[in-house]
């Protein structure tokens, strides 16, 4: 039986329709600036986010790190939530590649507030480094796909403006926030100077993220993309997949959210397991049984044909996506009950 793969929404396979547009994509040399399909993708995303221009990146990590390099001089500081992707999942790239420091701010449920951000901003003076960028993540992966509200983002933006600090939105799963709230992506992105969206997570494209901001900044972002090793040639075959994903797979994210909710309900009441209520497509399950950690639960589930990840030693993560249907969710729920009762 084919495993139910809930390790991430990055494990999706291109659909037949997506493969068709990949095969027929019009291409050029993107490093030389003449791939027409890349241009169409960048223009489409810039429009969706309400920004002047955009740049296509092979990964969200590279887009994040290029943004840091754009805004933050070496030896200066970035403010980010303590469990954000910048902090936990980018292998110390900010320090290793750009020589900048991350000021990590623990926030309840992973959701920053204006008060927490203001408290983290360094006062001006000769004895401390300067706060140069505030980074937000929406949805917040480590918090279980939670949504940072417009109100919170607006308050943080106002604090940032008072201090003259730009705001960056890591919106790798911003599509999920938009579908869950009914608020357009551009409304969220309007509260940040620069924003990134992912194509290879919930939307199901095989590769890519898009960074958007003002025209001059995006021109410099493309230069830095090359420095970071991200210049691509006939990238239109990848951009075509991204365009297909945007046009065909955004609205159906609501199905992923419903299936995460369904799996949470199936896991509710299982002894030794605490369910973190999902807001979008990420379900966190905390293992509370003494002597049984998340890695052991992951192994038990794999033996039953369900693949999840050990997010921490005590937390299991399951992520719904377009390759997981209702029957697969029911299989996963049954396997989780069996694994915890073993």
Please provide the size of the chain in residues. Answer: 342
CB 129 within 8 A of CB 75: yes
User: How high is the pLDDT of residue 341?
Assistant: 87
Phi, psi of 152 (to 5 degrees): -65, -45
**pLDDT digit string (tens) for 223-271?**
999 999 999 999 999 999 999 999 999 999 999 999 999 999 999 999 9
Q: Is the previous residue joined to 139 through a cis bond, with omega within 30 degrees of 0? A: yes
Is pTM, for the whole model, over 0.85? yes
Measured in degrees and rounded to the nearest 5, phi and psi for residue 60 equal -70, -35
Residue with tokens 């994210």: 253
Structure tokens at 32: 């030389």
Mean pLDDT of the residues in the chain = 97
Residue 294, helix vs strand vs coil: helix
Q: pLDDT tens for residues 186-199?
A: 999 999 999 999 99
Structure tokens at 216: 């001059």
Complete domains list, the chain, with CATH = 16-249 (3.40.640.10), 252-341 (3.90.1150.10)
What's phi and psi for 8, nearest 5 deg? -170, 165
What DSSP letter does each residue of 214-271 carry, written as one string? -HHHHHHHHHHHHHTT---SSTHHHHHHHHHHHHHHSTTHHHHHHHHHHHHHHHTT-T
Residue showing tokens 């983290």: 120
pLDDT tens, residue by residue, 138-159: 999 999 999 999 999 999 999 9
The pLDDT score that the predictor gives to residue 106 is 98
Q: For residue 93, what is the enclosing H or E element?
A: helix 93-98
> Token pair of 299, please?
């192994």
The closest alpha carbon to 330, from 259, 255, 256, belongs to 259
pLDDT digits (tens, 9 = 90+) for 271-303: 999 999 999 999 999 999 999 999 999 999 999
Q: Taking the CA atoms of the chain, what radius of gyration do you get in angstroms? A: 20
């Amino acid at each position: 039986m084919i495993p139910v793969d809930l390790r991430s929404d990055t494990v999706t396979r291109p659909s037949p329709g997506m493969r068709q547009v990949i095969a027929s994509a019009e291409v050029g040399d993107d490093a030389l600036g003449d791939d027409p399909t890349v241009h169409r993708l960048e223009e489409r995303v810039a429009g969706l986010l309400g920004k002047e221009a955009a740049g296509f990146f092979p990964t969200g990590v590279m887009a994040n790190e290029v943004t840091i390099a754009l805004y933050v001089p070496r030896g200066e500081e970035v403010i980010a939530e303590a469990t954000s992707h910048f902090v936990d999942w980018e292998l110390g790239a900010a320090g290793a590649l750009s020589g900048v420091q991350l000021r990590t701010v623990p926030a309840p449920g992973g959701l920053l507030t204006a008060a927490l951000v203001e408290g983290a901003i360094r006062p001006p003076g000769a004895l401390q480094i300067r706060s140069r960028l505030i980074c937000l993540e929406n949805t917040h992966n480590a918090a279980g796909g939670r949504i940072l509200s417009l109100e919170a983002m607006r308050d943080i933006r106002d604090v940032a403006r008072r201090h003259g600090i730009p705001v960056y939105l890591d919106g790798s799963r911003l599509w999920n926030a938009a579908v869950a709230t009914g608020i357009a992506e551009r409304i969220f992105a309007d509260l940040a100077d620069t924003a990134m969206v992912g194509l290879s997570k919930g939307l199901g494209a095989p590769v890519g993220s898009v960074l958007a901001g003002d025209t001059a900044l995006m021109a410099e972002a493309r230069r830095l993309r090359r420095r970071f090793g991200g210049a691509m040639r006939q990238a239109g075959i990848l951009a075509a997949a991204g365009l297909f994903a945007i046009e065909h797979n955004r609205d159906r994210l609501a199905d992923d959210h419903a299936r995460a909710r369904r799996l949470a309900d199936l896991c509710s009441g299982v002894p030794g397991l605490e369910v973190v209520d999902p807001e979008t497509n990420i379900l966190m399950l905390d293992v509370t049984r003494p002597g049984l950690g998340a890695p052991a639960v992951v192994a038990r589930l794999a033996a039953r044909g369900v693949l999840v990840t050990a997010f921490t030693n005590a937390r299991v993560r399951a992520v719904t996506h377009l390759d997981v249907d209702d029957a697969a969710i029911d299989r996963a729920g049954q396997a989780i009950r069996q694994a915890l009762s073993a």
